[in-house]
Amino acid sequence: MAYKPFDLTGKVALVTGGNGGIGLGMADAMAQAGADVVIWGSNPDKNARAEAQLKAHGTRVLAQVVNVADEAAVAAGMAEAVAKMGAVHTVVANAGIGGGAKSFAEFPTETYRKVLSVNLDGVFFTLREAAKHMVERAGDGQGGSLIATSSLSALDGAARNQAYAATKGALIPMIRAIAVEHARYGIRANVILPGWIATDMTAGAQDNDKFNENVIKRVPMRRWGEPEDFGGIAVYFASDASRFHTGDSVLIDGGYAIF
């Protein structure tokens, strides 16, 4: 008999950046576990492909074009998701972009601002709207789960990627503060830190022999991570199995950080 707390039937999960990469890996796993899924993405074609993939699991799927850096768009998107799906029980603030420079001394302010607008402001706007909704329905006994996707770069020295690292590092105390404030409402908040994962963002490095020799060979599991490697943690944090687990940072990097 399956362990019932992992069953997400009757729950709705919203994933920003859910049309590809880690976000789609998490959304797909939650759909397989029975959740209805909402995905946010800025590319309509990618949204449509992801929607078709998720619907194959037999759950309800809503794909929305939402720019998380736009505060008004986030509020409108969350309101639409709640109206159409009835409620949202898990929100994964996963949408993010890269943006580096030749050196820190040459780091363009424009790039810095753009990275912060998506990776930090976008997470803040998304989780704030999600928390507002979850607090409003706190009396239904279902609580809620807020999840942010950070990065190994929050802990490591990410040379030439100071803006990205700063945004990912900031998510850890943000999540802890949310967790403390909202525990009384049955709302949990946790952050996931991926290591080197094969997604569109890392496409250039994946085909770089020097990078694979010097970096990926240092991963104790001897491979790139895959989006599917984040399905289990997503289902866990969305499920009743994690009902007493909050304010945590979970590193999923194949052992890279400890080697």
Annotated catalytic residue 168: yes
Catalytic, 153? Answer no
- The catalytic residue among 151, 153, 239, 242 is 151
Chain-centre distance for alpha carbon 28: 13
3 carries an active-site annotation: no
Residues 130/14, Cβ–Cβ less than 8 Å? yes
Question: What distances in angstroms separate CA 112 from CA 95, 109, 156, 168, one per listed residue?
Answer: 16, 5, 19, 13
Catalytic-labelled residue, pool 145, 168, 236, 239: 168
Give every CB contact of residue 158 below 8 A, 6+ residues apart in sequence: 164, 165
Q: Which of 46, 150, 164, 236 is catalytic?
A: 164
On whether the CB atoms of residues 144 and 188 are closer than 8 A, the answer is yes
Half-sphere exposure of 72 (CA within 13 A, CB side): 0
Catalytic (active-site) positions: 151, 164, 168
